[in-house]
Amino acid sequence: MKVTVSVHGRWHAFELATELQDRGLLSQLLTTYPRMTVKQITTRTLPVISRPSLEFRRRIYDRWRFGAKPDREIAAAFGRFASEKVLPDTDLFIGWSSASLEAIPIVQGRGGKVVIERGSTHIQHQMDMLQTGYERAGLPWDGTDPFIIERELAEYQAADAIAVPTTFARQSFIDHGIPGDKIIVNPYGTDLSERAGGREKIRGGPLRLLFVGGISVRKGAPWLIEAIKDLEGQAACRFAGPVEPALRQMYSAGLPDNVELLGPLSSADVDRELSAADVFCLPSLEEGFPLSLLEAMAAGLTCVVTPAASGGVVRDGKNGVLVPPMDVRALVTAVDGILADRSRLSAMGEAARKAVQAGYSWRDYGNRAVAAYEELLS
């Protein structure tokens, strides 16, 4: 099996490429990241073919909002790049959604198969949830570029298979007319060796919550902030991640005293925050499989999440608490329940750690991926 991985960015593509390389299956990794950056991240010499000008364009916009939003430009340009660079003898092309359309007929025309990697729910489900979320938060939303939507829908139809990380995401595709047997479900992994886990979590004082991810409507941040406001004196929450511009403006007058925005953190700093926290909270409206959840569970934290953010690994009342999205009262009730019996934290945290150890390493992810690819090619 000769595999090409094609990604207009990073996501979990480098972990997938590394697992394939370790098994002698990776022919090439097409990416917008420079070759040296990939080597620094993976500590491997992978067969990288790069288009760094597109990554530079994205970074310029993200930092300075210079020019028009580049999503459609990058998606189409990288799709053309992939179609030109994919090796003729590729058996399997693993391409990230919205930036693979041009490569699909090239690969299939040569007798290869195509798997579209979609790290989230069906794009229409995502759109519906976000529209509802912004409306409830009282914030304007521009929506996703129709050009990107059309590309994704075309990729879903043309691909031989679609890979998603959860059964929740799979169901969203089925609900939008994609046959279930076309969908590969493969949960992501984490580096279990770097997570301490098994720490004592019974402490006095306000309950220490941690949120890791983009501080956005999609991740449910406005509802969590309101819940923490209602829990003043009983709980405090530290938010690690970049703040969505709309929310930065929304909270320009200030935040509750028990809410702290830390900004984006390094992996080492996130690990320190995990060690200091009592509970991990991620009440997302829509998700794929948040890697921060796996990191929190591997560190032995009880998790309060929505079904969309649970990855299918959080079990209500066993290793965490499930709450509905956009529900301040449910979040308050979940935290109150933990406060009423803090002795549960250690047992639930240990159950979370054991759940992740039972199949959620990157090696486990690679094994599942290769098994699915072999079945597709058989």
CATH number of the 3-189+361-377 domain: 3.40.50.2000
- Beta-bridge mates of residue 115: 94, 161
Q: Do residues 284 and 309 make contact, with C-beta atoms less than 8 angstroms apart?
A: yes
Q: Do residues 208 and 232 make contact, with C-beta atoms less than 8 angstroms apart?
A: no
Q: Do residues 112 and 95 make contact, with C-beta atoms less than 8 angstroms apart?
A: no
pLDDT at 196 over 60: no
**Phi/psi class of residue 311: alpha, beta or left (left: φ > 0; alpha: ψ in -120 to 50)?**
left
Dist CA 74 CA 90 (whole Å): 23
pTM of the model: 0.94
Classify burial at 81, counting beta carbons within 10 Å of its beta carbon; exposed 0-12, middle 13-18, buried 19 or more: buried
Place 65 in a pLDDT band, splitting at 50, 70 and 90. Answer: confident
At 201 the pLDDT is 52
Q: Residue 164, SS3? A: strand
At 120 the pLDDT is 96
Evaluated on CA atoms 160, 164, 170, 175, the torsion sign reads negative
At 169 the pLDDT is 97
Q: Count the Cβ atoms, other than its own, within 10 Å of residue 135.
A: 12
Share of the chain above pLDDT 90, in %: 90
Per DSSP, helices labelled H in 192-290 are 221-230, 245-250, 267-276
At 106 the pLDDT is 99
pLDDT at 204 over 90: no
Q: Of 366, 374, 347, which Cα lies nearest the Cα of 188? A: 366
Q: Of 73, 113, 78, which Cα lies nearest the Cα of 93? A: 113
Place 232 in a pLDDT band, splitting at 50, 70 and 90. Answer: confident
Flag the least confident range among 23-32, 92-101, 241-250: 241-250
* Greater pLDDT, 316 or 63: 316
Strand order, beta sheet including 48-50: 48-50, 26-31, 3-7, 92-96, 113-117, 161-164, 183-185
109: Cβ contacts below 8 Å, ≥ 6 apart? none
Evaluated on CA atoms 85, 75, 7, 26, the torsion sign reads negative
How would you label 32-44 residue by residue, b for 16+ Cβ within 10 Å and e otherwise?
bbebebbeeebee
Q: Mean pLDDT across the stretch 289-314?
A: 96
Q: Domain residues of the chain, as ranges? A: 3-189+361-377, 192-357
Q: Mean pLDDT across the stretch 343-368?
A: 95
At 202 the pLDDT is 57
3-state helix, strand, coil in the chain (%, to 5): 45, 15, 35
- The predicted-structure confidence for 136-191, as pLDDT tens digits, reads as follows 999 999 899 999 999 999 999 999 999 999 999 999 999 999 999 999 999 999 98
**CA–CA distance from 373 to each of 25, 107, 113, 251 (Å)?**
11, 15, 9, 46
At 132 the pLDDT is 98
pLDDT at 117 over 90: yes
194: Cβ contacts below 8 Å, ≥ 6 apart? 271
Homologous superfamily of domain range 192-357: Glycogen Phosphorylase B; (3.40.50.2000)
Average pLDDT, the chain: 95
- The predicted-structure confidence for 256-291, as pLDDT tens digits, reads as follows 999 999 999 999 999 999 999 999 999 999 999 999
Flag the least confident range among 98-107, 189-198, 286-295, 354-363: 189-198
Residue the block writes with tokens 């299918």:
312
Sequence letter at residue 287: E
Domains 3-189+361-377 and 192-357 share a fold: yes
Work out whether strand 26-31 and strand 3-7 pair parallel, antiparallel, or are unpaired. Answer: parallel
pLDDT at 369 over 60: yes
